[in-house]
Amino acid sequence: MIPLELATIAEITGGRLSDGANPHAIVDGFVEFDSRKISPGGLFIALPGKHVDGHSFAAAAVEQGAAGVLAAKDVGVPAVVVPKAAKRDGDNSDLAANDPDGSAAGVVAGMSKLASYVANHLTHNHGLSIVGITGSAGKTSTKDLIANVLSAAGETVAPPGSFNNEIGHPYTVLRCTESTRFLVAEMSARGIGHIAHLATIAPPTFGVVLNIGSAHLGEFGSKENIAVAKGELVEALPAAADGGVAILNADDPLVTAMDSRTGARVVRFSAEGNSADYYATDVSLDDVTRASFTLHSPGNAPQRVNLNVFGAHQVSNALAAAAVGIESGIDAATVARALSSAHGVSGNRMDVQTRADGVTVINDAYNANPDSMRAGIAALGFTAAGRPGARSIAVLGEMGELGSDSVSAHHELGNELARYRVTHLVAVGDNDAMTALKDRARDRGIRVEAAADVEEAADLVNGILSAPPAGEEGWYDRDVRDVVLVKASNALGLWAVAGSLLEGHSMRGDKNLESNFGDGER
């Protein structure tokens, strides 16, 4: 964070100094929620939660070196105490659900005010460029690609994983310093007005809208309502004369229609050959669905891009990232090199690893909606199709937040499994939606196993992998080649299945990606 006195932080947040706080003490370290991560000069955010109240760790944070604490009450150590906040009507966030007296909302409001001050100071005094990104699927993967591209031109801050809500967004903004040139901000929505609020904290100059899918229909009611919410990003952009750029997916009609909602300059990208400023030709996939393509951009020679991230859908994400980079002034050749060198950094997101025995595990378990499920199943099917005799095993859990469409959406997944010739389904969980998935998969000729929990799912997958493929003798001596996809909504923690399959195995180096950590994507 930029250096600020505690007195200044109190003024910005509307708080008061307490417990002998030195008004001239300088906060010049990182803002943290975890007292164990505090470094000297940092600011500890005492956030009350469902299971743990951060106020209880204020003293430990100061002992660790925190210059002060942002809190909703006196904590016995130097602090800025901010007022509690009333719950907003219609607030369906986890924060509101576990905040009976408004303490957590008050702390988050204070942190947001501080982040807004920092973002505006850096934008106007140090040339910070802010990129906002939203969409129903692919935000985190695209954020990682954009960050890799922009890093070629200067220091870039992007959220770890999917820190894209009312807590993670200001936390990410406060990672910026005077030397930060670019901030890449994911923006999620649970309802109308959420993205508009996030955009006030860190006003973007560039706005990327990826797609309007069927994720969170239970919250929004229709794709049209989702489009209203996602389009708040382009409405928040400055006018074209002031540098605003809206980057829209030409392959999604609900996204392209957003051009009438912004005064920014509009550029479009397309992976499907639609009329666009940025588009791909000559697309090919390798044996683990890493895409190569020729990038076309306005006024530049075509550039070949060889992605190291997995799935055909990454072509569209890479085009969005290319548009951000080139519109930011980076030359096309540098953008192509940056895209080709990018690896996934957000954990459990299309993390593809191949064991020494040939089994490939596609860990895409951090979240799931109908669009990302289709992409994951396609990656599974394509990878297995290039390996004669390989079994393709989908370990799937429930897609959450689909409301009344949940059963039909899971039924349709059974058709997707058959479309991509998936041989086995391990279905984790027992409810009407998962029953619909299992029944449809069986109807389409897929071998179905039911697991009550993560541990049973891992055992079932290991049992499938250890059994001989039909009609194949001497299989113990062969390269196994089987492919496993692990995917479900965040709450199931299904990534533990992937961890179990990889534990104790050496990896084939060229297919082994490093992972970090993530928050839920919306």
Can you spell out the DSSP letters for 235-266?
HTSPPGGGT-EEEEETT-HHHHGGGGG-SSEE
- Helix then strand count (H, E) for the chain reads 18, 22
350 φψ region: left (φ > 0), alpha (ψ -120 to 50), beta (else): left
pLDDT in tens, 46-100: 998 878 899 999 999 999 999 999 999 999 999 999 999 887 766 666 676 778 8
Are 143 and 269 within one domain? yes
Binding site listing: 135-141
Let me know if residue 198 belongs to a domain. yes
Domain tally for the chain?
3
Residue 351: strand pairing partners: 363
Is the confidence at residue 517, as pLDDT, over 70? Answer: no
- Structure confidence at residue 354 (pLDDT): 87
pLDDT digits (tens, 9 = 90+) for 180-228: 999 999 998 878 889 999 999 999 999 999 999 765 555 666 889 899 9
Per-residue model confidence (pLDDT) at position 122? 98
Of 209, 211, 154, 205, which Cα lies nearest the Cα of 187?
209
| Enclosing H/E stretch for 353 | strand 351-354
Known binding residues for ATP are 135-141
> Between 4 and 492, whose confidence is greater?
4
- Tell me the per-residue pLDDT of 161-182, one tens digit each, with 9 for 90 and over: 667 788 889 999 999 999 999 9
CB contact set of 477 (below 8 Å; sequence gap of 6+)? none
The answer to whether residues 163 and 209 belong to one domain is yes
pLDDT of residue 516: 27
Q: Would you state the pLDDT for residue 350?
A: 75
As a whole number of angstroms, the distance between CA 418 and CA 381 comes to 9
Q: Provide the whole-model pTM.
A: 0.76
Q: Per-residue pLDDT for 286 more than 60?
A: yes
> What's the angle, vertex CA 289, arms to CA 285 and CA 294, rounded to 5?
40
Cα–Cα distances (Å) from 505 to 39, 65, 89, 497, 500, in that order, read: 36, 40, 51, 14, 10
As a whole number of angstroms, the distance between CA 117 and CA 305 comes to 38
Q: Give pLDDT tens digits for 461-494.
A: 999 998 766 555 444 444 558 999 999 887 788 9
Q: What is the CATH number of the domain that holds 10?
A: 3.40.1390.10
Measure CA of the first residue to CA of the last residue in the chain; give whole Å: 26
Catalogue the long-range contacts made by 298-301 (C-beta closer than 8 Å, 24 or more residues apart): 298/267, 298/326, 300/326, 300/331, 300/332, 301/332
Assess whether 137 and 157 both reside in one domain: yes
Same domain, 143 and 41: no
Q: Are residues 71 and 204 in the same domain?
A: no
Print the domain residue range for 357.
351-468+478-511
Mean pLDDT of 313-318: 95
